[in-house]
Structure 1
Amino acid sequence: MQKSLKRGISTLTLAAAIAGVTSGAYAQQSPAADQAPVSAASESRAAADDLASDQDVIVTGSRIMANGFQAPTPVTVVSTEQLQRTAPGTIAEGLNQLPQFAGSRSNTTPGGLGNTPSTGNYLNLRNLGSLRTLVLLDGQRLPPTSYEGITDSNIIPQALIQRVEVVTGGASAAYGSDAVSGVINYVLDTKYNGAKGQIQYGKTEYGDAPTLKANFAFGTNITDRIHVLGSYDHYETKGIVGNESRPLGRFNWLRTGAGTQANPYREFQNVRFSNASYGTQISTANPATVPGTTNPFPLRGYEFLPGGLAVPMDLGTPTGSAGASVGGNGPVVLGRSLTGTQNTEQLFGRVDFEVTSDLQAFAQFSYTDSFASSISVGSGTQVGDFRIFTDNAFIADSTRAILQAAGVQSFIGSRIQADQPPKLQELFQKAGIFVSGLRGKLGEYNWDVGYSHGETRLKSSHYGNFNNQRYYAGLDAVKNAQGQIVCRITITNPGLLDDCIPFNIFGNGSPSQASYDYISQSADFAVKQKMDIFTANLSGEVLQLPAGALSVAVGAEYRSQSLVQTSNADPSQPIDLTGIRTSPNPFLLKFNSTNVGATSAKQNVKEAYIELAIPLLKDAPFAQELSLNAAGRYTDYSTSGSVKTWKLGASWTPVDSIRFRATRSRDIRAPTLNELFAATNSGQVAFLDVHTNTNARLTTINTGNPNLTPELADTFTAGAVFSPSFVPRLQFSVDYYKIKIKDAIGTPNQQQIYDECEASRGTAGVCSTIIRPFPWENTTPANFPTRRLSFPINQSSVEISGLDFEISYRAEFNGGIVSDSSTLDIRLIGGQLFDYLTQNDPKSRVLQTDNSGNNSKTRVNLAFNYRDGPIGLSTQTRYIGKRKKTQDPSLFYADGYSNDIPSRMYTDATASYRFERYGGNFEAYFTVTNLFDRDPPLIPGGGQPGQPYPTNTLVYDIFGRTYTAGIRFRF
């Protein structure tokens, strides 16, 4: 091993040791043709012990594995050791801290209403969407785990991951379709011998979100020709419930207003509902007269106490948003999970068999069982959602008399269900993956064939959903001939809902447990997906040119995929409201949220590719090396037709200390089965309708779109790698990238559609997706939308550009505190985003979001790693530059309210100590993340008072200072 390390180490590998993060600039530095391949262990001296393996690999960012070949594609290589230092949770969490990643989903983004469940880690390169990021395991495509078609990185055996290779540019021609923003390739240590493990425990400064991680792996040679490998991983973390668990969430911050010049955005704390109460408010809208009469509407804005008596409310000070006020005694939404709970168990096994010296076979199987849960709603909102008749048996006689004297027969009520049991969302995910293959040599050519089968199952249960038929029937409570309080439907329509239990909505705590049990059910849906993949590859040198060998790789792939989705709620049809008069909304679904339909779909995909490495010059004046890299791929989808992708790149080394590289590629992503054939699903969201100045719950209907076509992306990268001879061990790389996606598949931002419709005064085509009872010109509350339609389309374009850069240096000292030598590794890795432009359709505005939403114009990571014999000290500082709350020029903040978001800097620190006991090597470590306990910046959002946490949880740390202690061992 020491020989291998010494033989492979170069200035490249020294730089790779710094922070364990190596850019493609360094990853591309393959050894000379007369040298052995670079050992994975030699990528990092600091990580050498962790990466102990006899397996030789070459990191090239291409399918060609040839000595001396340097592909022009930028690649970032991350060692497992560094990922564990900076993010003790999961490897995916560590990857997500790199500047190239933005907008990834994890347990810190619970599913909300349950229609988009989130369990595990779904990585997102360039914030272009997880669907545009191809996830591989040892170069093999992994099956989707989510019904959306994306893959949870937690299904990969964490204990055996040796490193992660991230291709940060278009790679569809080389690696396969869907690699628009890049490729994440997890590389396992398949030749590992011995036993190793880890156990750790962590908790935040606030005493919550405890995390337990444990794993064990072993590898051994049964015979000279048979090697077996196995591992077990366990990871669990408890969620954080309620915004009040963190300082920013304790003051009910909310952004109010419409963002227009007439009603600009403002930000307030202590914002409460003024159009609802915990005990039901009489919230009939203006005009404040009884329908059909000239009588003033009595008791408007009053709330009910237990016993059915209506009393005045302190409605606070109005804001720029309907139904939201500052102060008063109005309610707020309580109890939603800030982060979710997650539990993952993972088993992995592999057998390698050397049939002959030129023929090897292998088979491996992995199984993952994941559970996630979160509270989507702690106190349900029923704002303007129900009609109460004055003959309701639960209304106090004195209040009824006032209403009936004015001619009131019914009124609209609004309530925040603080007495409702929390609505719990539970997600169960199981994933099984079998992979087998043969590889060998045919003369001077390397070949391999493989087969894999992946099967994933997801079950979502959203408890506490109101069955709308039962709920609205229970609200209409009257007295029967015997003077008993019963549901009116049992009198007027016997036989429909004879088991109906009256629901007393008047007064906080008034509904009985029996009535809640009657209306509350679980909204369930399940998704089963299968993928079978057959692959064949051949590579080698086909021709000797003056500058070296012409290398080629060819291959083919066939995969079939199926999706079956079942549900207990079909949202394609409204429910039967026969005999029910309390619902003001004629388009009601079975549940008040999480209505997911049933569907099934299949597709098969055929792919064939060729890749060439063409040396042009070698050891020439001003061209120590000049080569081309070209690739082409043909892909045929049974569902959306055929497409062609290609890549052309060049690598030029004029002198020893500098190398230039550039690529131009055409990449594609085809629509997923879910995007094409998703069943109708529906949920409700709080919506401020500026058109009618009404804040109420809006039903959103989501469907698939079978008319989608593949999206096309044009990618250009250009960069340079510097390793000056006059400063040994110093390296610098810089890469420019530009990705333009045409006919991009995506669901348009609903707020953008709404704003565009308003700006066009109802004439824009997108207005057809907002369904109102009356023509657009009607601005009364009666014209609040009954529903909103949402489906994926081939959007006009998405265009991003930016710069990736890295600087690294290793200092070596003759002495240390406790040893004869020590090292200090320093690495700065950063990204500068120039543009992030989106356009819904050719007639829409082009929106710039390069420094808002989930995007950050400037992100930099700076790492220091010091090693002195058994002692290790490391820090990582992450910098997120100043950003904007919105970059939409049509949206405005009022004077005195800033659109700016200040920069944030987070520092993590780890101390470790290595020692030997019982014949094994141990390392004890202690990590503190967010060392200085920096709160995230205050970014109040819109929505319901009390519900949104006032920051962007996908960009900033919401956990606070967190302590983790653990131990690793190896025998």
Structure 2
Amino acid sequence: MYQSNKLSRAVKLAIAAGATATAMAAPNVYAFADEANAEEGVERIQVTGSRIKRQELTAVTPIIEVDAQEFAISGNLNIEQKLAELPSTLPAFGPSSNNPGDGTARVDLRGLGTSRTLVMVNGRRWVPASQSGVVDLNTIPASLIENVEIITGGASAVYGSDALAGVVNFNMKDDFEGVEFSTLYDVTDHNDAEKFNLDMTMGGNFADDRGNAVVYLGYSKRESLMQGDRSFSSVALTESGDELVAGGSSGVPGTRLFAGDVVKADGTVVGTFGPNGDGQAWVEPSSRFNYAPDNFLQLPQERYSASAFSHFYINDEHRIYSEVSFVRNFVPQELAPTPAFTSVEINPNSVFFDAATQQAFLNSGSLNADGNYEGFIGRRMVENGSRQSIDTRDAFRMLVGIDGYINDDWSYDVYYSRSMLDQTNLLNNDVAASRFIQAVLTTDDGTACQDPSGGCVPINIWGEGNISQEAIDFVNVGAANVTSITQEVFMANVAGTTSWQVPSADEAVGLVFGYEKRQDSSSFRPDEFLASGDVLGFNAGEATVGSYSSDEIFMEVNVPLVSGADWAEDLTFWGAARFADYSNIGNVESFATALNWTPTDWMSARFGFQQAVRAPNVAELFQGSANGFPGATDPCSADGFQSGVTDVALCEATGVAAGQVGVFAQANSQIEGSFGGNENLNEESSDTLTVGFVFNPMEGLDFTIDYYSIEIEDAISSYGVNNTLNVCYNIVKDINDVTCQNISRRADGNVSVVKSLNENIGLIETSGIDFNITYNTDFDNGSSLNIQFRSTWLDKFDVTSIAELPDEIDNCAGYFGNTCGTPRAEFQSNTRINWTKDDLTLSALIRHIGSTEDDQIMVANNNNATAPDLVVPELDTKFYLDVSASYNVSDAFKVTGGVKNILDEEPQALGDSQSQANTFPELYDAIGPRLFVSATYTFN
């Protein structure tokens, strides 16, 4: 039997703070033991918040653990929905993220951004799903999860770049014997929006129990639900006066004409058109197009998963292991038909108009030399069908490694992983801008285009339902875009205990040190239509291709300082450092320190400070440029000049003629901007301070209080056109500053184009307190009760998008809206209550989301908005109740069922300050109660 003295050495190493450096849940090389040792009650020791193993309540940084039972009893098919319920996270993209959204599911710790949250599986990096390096949680099989460990706060000294907000680590089942089938069915009380999954896990030992292999196969499907299927979201709401009314888009099926000079003889100002081309008045908001019913409220999804985990003991001291995963994830998005907003030439004599409207065009006085009217229109292309963005992601990952013992005190771990993702994005039912403009300008009789090249087919956009199928076929375009992502990681480390020992301590110093090399590369290659910008319904984009690599060395030290003293049963210092050399940004370093003090057996304290870094990702570095025309004011022009503030000499030095500063008229209210990545970006850095206390006042009861403060400097952001001009001429006033270098002017002094690339210019500060309670007790009747309460009080969340504008701070704690986004309640909590007797478990989850205010009130100094000015100035406190029950029918068969949102708590309707579906559907339940049932059957 392969046991020797391995287990005793495992315990010795764990107690002395030696460990593998692969992550929070390293391969269990230490727990290989026979049944006799298992009977002695020695359990596997988990790593929590450090690569050095330690108990959860004495972790060096605050952690949250979610076990497999929580996923099972809550009926969550999608991982991100369970994580979004935690008070320490801000809901990110998920099943209701249609627009905005990209088909991925994400986690956002502390609301600091998904790219600042590092997601790992078995303590190792997982497959990136986008060029920003974000992991799609859809690629992680929920049925294989053993538990999830969440570390909040900067952790890049231990785990590397991207961990500014923290780490979410999924520990997977990798040592399984038997065959297990599990299934789940979920449906709403409206009998729609079904979810279904079927999983099979099988595994066993081989080679006289020296090895184990586990294979997992999974299939899941989620049906669509349209916003029109719920009364709450069936109409796009807007604010009018003191009430919410039906609103929508100004791009309408009858065509919107943005002009005031086309007036009929009866005084009607033509703003839209009837079915016979008769000009009609535009009436707010009733003339607008209701786009809501054409959007998904729940995105459909189909997923195929296959994973295999194995390990084999070469001998008593060394083990090889491997992981292989493949996931195909199919998620479409659907939007309302293309809104064609563009400038066109209109033939006023076209037969498509009635006589009165023809005359109104002719009398407008706005005809060009060819006798055509030039105007800006908005046409909803309903005849072209809904826009579809269909994403298919194929994710593949393989990992091989070897770990084991060097001697009684030292262990090692070496592995290599390669992750690849291929994404195909199909864009259907878009409209080619050039063909649309060409087809709108027709001959008088409407039978031909004035420019017949390219097989042009005349299009009648003047009235709903007037476009022929032939015209649709001419203007309709689709696009096929391809993204390829590759990540390679090589890691080698050793861990163990030294011979050094502080005289006042009982244990020796523990060390971990190692080397990591990582290579990230990806390419986004858009369709020619998308790349050229010749599209009206989807955002144009250029190719994004790039790569970078890093070589990193890291170390941890665990120094027991005092043991068994009157004032300290234990006092331990922990430290970590990482030094990285990036191919694109050079050398960066991060470090972390913590002091754990246990004065008594019922109370301990932890004090930590960490400095973390995040290297810019491929998207931020190499994103292809795209042009736009936002409204902006040139400080050098007559309208923008501020006497005593604007630098006259700088205006002249950058291209304004002498004597014309503050005099010349800006040619256009919109100024062209060029937006994209920046290869000269540097790393973001953060400082995280944590102060925590752990109390165990009685058996079965413990609670933790942790204060956190995170400050991110040099956050990657962009100036925008208006801020670039303002910062250059009114604030920094330095021709060599990046803002001034990004401004180009024409010969007449007007701004030609402003580059607005990504820059390290932001500052984000957040702080708060986490308060968690766990209580367990047994009753005389053989039943037991478990209560777990988690909560977060958000004290501050301040965002300064541009450091040169320190007075423009968005204080988002307690606010929501178009500036702060998803509501950031000052207090959130959830409480899980489980009662178990014999084979039955009854459970309830109470989720609480505190009230928030519209951020227009927060920025009152800028726009003087007050609560009475707004239709919905505040979102009320919400409580959600989920109930479930689980029963072990036999040792092999287990069933679980329940109802989510059993009280049918509806979201509070919003107008303009919303994300989508008149609310923030990833935070507030917009679908209604869901009923689920799941079953698991195991063959031993």
TM-score of the pair, normalised by structure 2: 0.83
Correspondence list, 1:843-858, <5 A? 843-844=804-805, 845-852=808-815, 853-854=821-822, 855-858=824-827
Q: For 2:879, give the aligned amino acid.
A: M
Mark the CA change 1:801 to 1:514 in structure 2 (over 3 Å): closer, same or farther: same
1:469 match: 434
Give the stretch that moved more between structures: 392-401 or 877-886.
392-401
2:447 match: 485
Task: Describe the superposition over 1:114-153 as per-residue Cα deviations: whole angstroms up to 9, x where unpaired.
Answer: xxx6223211110111111111111111231112221112
2:155 match: 171
Task: Describe the superposition over 1:340-371 as per-residue Cα deviations: whole angstroms up to 9, x where unpaired.
Answer: 22221110012211100101001221001011
Mark the CA change 1:683 to 1:192 in structure 2 (over 3 Å): closer, same or farther: farther
Structure 1 residue aligned with 2:324, among 343, 365, 371? 365
Per-residue deviation, 1:86: 2.5
Structure 1 residue aligned with 2:340, among 371, 379, 382? 382
Task: Describe the superposition over 1:763-820 as per-residue Cα deviations: whole angstroms up to 9, x where unpaired.
Answer: 9999999999999999xxxxxx9999754221231111011111121121121xxxxx
The 1-side partners of 2:929 and 2:672 are apart by 39
1:585 match: none
- What SS does the aligned partner of 1:173 have? helix
Matched, 1:338 2:302: no
The 2-side partners of 1:924 and 1:550 are apart by 48
1:268 match: 244
Per-residue deviation, 1:938: 2.3
Per-residue deviation, 1:163: 0.6
Per-residue deviation, 1:644: 0.9
Q: For 1:232, give the aligned amino acid.
A: L
Question: Quick check: 1:560–1:603 contact (8 Å CA) kept in 2?
Answer: yes
Matched, 1:84 2:66: no
The 2-side partners of 1:284 and 1:970 are apart by 70
Structure 2 residue aligned with 1:254, among 221, 238, 244? 238
1:532 match: 488
Matched, 1:609 2:554: yes
Matched, 1:914 2:888: yes
2:680 match: 707
Per-residue deviation, 1:55: 7.8
Per-residue deviation, 1:683: 8.4
The 2-side partners of 1:614 and 1:960 are apart by 53
The 2-side partners of 1:642 and 1:203 are apart by 52
Mark the CA change 1:196 to 1:305 in structure 2 (over 3 Å): closer, same or farther: same
Mark the CA change 1:567 to 1:387 in structure 2 (over 3 Å): closer, same or farther: same
Mark the CA change 1:942 to 1:227 in structure 2 (over 3 Å): closer, same or farther: closer
The 2-side partners of 1:787 and 1:198 are apart by 58
Structure 2 residue aligned with 1:876, among 845, 853, 856? 845
1:189 match: 173
Question: Quick check: 2:201–2:217 contact (8 Å CA) kept in 1?
Answer: yes
Q: For 2:886, give the aligned amino acid.
A: S
Give the stretch that moved more between structures: 103-112 or 636-645.
103-112
Give the stretch that moved more between structures: 102-111 or 296-305.
296-305
Matched, 1:159 2:115: no
Give the stretch that moved more between structures: 85-94 or 529-538.
85-94
2:656 match: none
Correspondence list, 1:729-748, <5 A? 729-747=700-718
Mark the CA change 1:569 to 1:911 in structure 2 (over 3 Å): closer, same or farther: same
Matched, 1:899 2:867: no
Mark the CA change 1:388 to 1:297 in structure 2 (over 3 Å): closer, same or farther: farther
Question: Quick check: 1:349–1:364 contact (8 Å CA) kept in 2?
Answer: yes
The 2-side partners of 1:752 and 1:832 are apart by 36
Mark the CA change 1:267 to 1:698 in structure 2 (over 3 Å): closer, same or farther: farther
The 2-side partners of 1:857 and 1:93 are apart by 21
- What SS does the aligned partner of 1:810 have? strand
1:835 match: 796
1:22 match: none
Structure 2 unpaired stretches of 5+? 1-6, 27-38, 368-372, 633-638, 641-664, 816-820
The 1-side partners of 2:253 and 2:461 are apart by 10
Mark the CA change 1:408 to 1:602 in structure 2 (over 3 Å): closer, same or farther: closer
Question: Quick check: 1:31–1:68 contact (8 Å CA) kept in 2?
Answer: no
Per-residue deviation, 1:697: 12
Structure 2 residue aligned with 1:284, among 259, 278, 288? 259
Matched, 1:65 2:53: yes
The 2-side partners of 1:206 and 1:789 are apart by 50
Q: For 2:217, give the aligned amino acid.
A: Y
The 1-side partners of 2:812 and 2:680 are apart by 28
The 1-side partners of 2:594 and 2:897 are apart by 44
Task: Describe the superposition over 1:870-913 as per-residue Cα deviations: whole angstroms up to 9, x where unpaired.
Answer: 21110101100011110223241473635222111111111122
Mark the CA change 1:774 to 1:638 in structure 2 (over 3 Å): closer, same or farther: closer
Task: Describe the superposition over 1:832-853 as per-residue Cα deviations: whole angstroms up to 9, x where unpaired.
Answer: 0110111122332122101223
Question: Quick check: 2:14–2:54 contact (8 Å CA) kept in 1?
Answer: no
Correspondence list, 1:204-223, <5 A? 204-223=188-207
2:832 match: 863
Structure 1 unpaired stretches of 5+? 1-6, 9-29, 41-51, 257-264, 317-324, 491-496, 574-587, 779-784, 816-820
Matched, 1:961 2:929: yes
The 1-side partners of 2:272 and 2:627 are apart by 31
Question: Quick check: 1:660–1:721 contact (8 Å CA) kept in 2?
Answer: yes
The 1-side partners of 2:837 and 2:773 are apart by 23
Structure 2 residue aligned with 1:436, among 371, 382, 400? 400
Task: Describe the superposition over 1:561-614 as per-residue Cα deviations: whole angstroms up to 9, x where unpaired.
Answer: 2112211137676xxxxxxxxxxxxxx644442322113212111110110000
- What SS does the aligned partner of 2:677 have? coil
Matched, 1:392 2:350: yes
Q: Percent of pairs identical after alignment?
A: 23
TM-score of the pair, normalised by structure 1: 0.81
Task: Describe the superposition over 1:730-754 as per-residue Cα deviations: whole angstroms up to 9, x where unpaired.
Answer: 1110000001111012356x79969
Q: For 2:462, give the aligned amino acid.
A: F
Task: Describe the superposition over 1:898-945 as per-residue Cα deviations: whole angstroms up to 9, x where unpaired.
Answer: 5222111111111122112xxx511112121111111112232269xx
Per-residue deviation, 1:85: 2.1
Mark the CA change 1:406 to 1:736 in structure 2 (over 3 Å): closer, same or farther: closer
Per-residue deviation, 1:708: 0.9
2:412 match: 447
2:81 match: 93
1:519 match: 475
Matched, 1:808 2:774: yes
Question: Quick check: 2:237–2:248 contact (8 Å CA) kept in 1?
Answer: no
The 1-side partners of 2:832 and 2:724 are apart by 44
The aligned length equals 855
The 2-side partners of 1:616 and 1:893 are apart by 56
Matched, 1:924 2:895: yes
2:689 match: 716
Q: For 1:473, give the aligned amino acid.
A: Q
Question: Quick check: 1:228–1:350 contact (8 Å CA) kept in 2?
Answer: yes
Question: Quick check: 1:333–1:381 contact (8 Å CA) kept in 2?
Answer: no
2:217 match: 232
Task: Describe the superposition over 1:419-475 as per-residue Cα deviations: whole angstroms up to 9, x where unpaired.
Answer: 330001100101100000000100121101101111111121221111111111111
Question: Quick check: 1:569–1:590 contact (8 Å CA) kept in 2?
Answer: no
1:792 match: 758
The 2-side partners of 1:593 and 1:787 are apart by 23
Question: Quick check: 2:17–2:510 contact (8 Å CA) kept in 1?
Answer: no
Task: Describe the superposition over 1:17-56 as per-residue Cα deviations: whole angstroms up to 9, x where unpaired.
Answer: xxxxxxxxxxxxx99679999999xxxxxxxxxxx99982
Task: Describe the superposition over 1:315-336 as per-residue Cα deviations: whole angstroms up to 9, x where unpaired.
Answer: 44xxxxxxxx24x444333412
The 2-side partners of 1:36 and 1:743 are apart by 34
Question: Quick check: 1:72–1:629 contact (8 Å CA) kept in 2?
Answer: yes
Structure 2 residue aligned with 1:123, among 74, 85, 107? 107
Task: Describe the superposition over 1:627-647 as per-residue Cα deviations: whole angstroms up to 9, x where unpaired.
Answer: 000111101110111101111
Question: Quick check: 1:592–1:684 contact (8 Å CA) kept in 2?
Answer: no
Question: Quick check: 2:211–2:310 contact (8 Å CA) kept in 1?
Answer: yes
Task: Describe the superposition over 1:405-430 as per-residue Cα deviations: whole angstroms up to 9, x where unpaired.
Answer: 56563153433334330001100101
Question: Quick check: 2:426–2:478 contact (8 Å CA) kept in 1?
Answer: yes
Question: Quick check: 1:106–1:118 contact (8 Å CA) kept in 2?
Answer: no
2:517 match: 558
Per-residue deviation, 1:226: 2.5
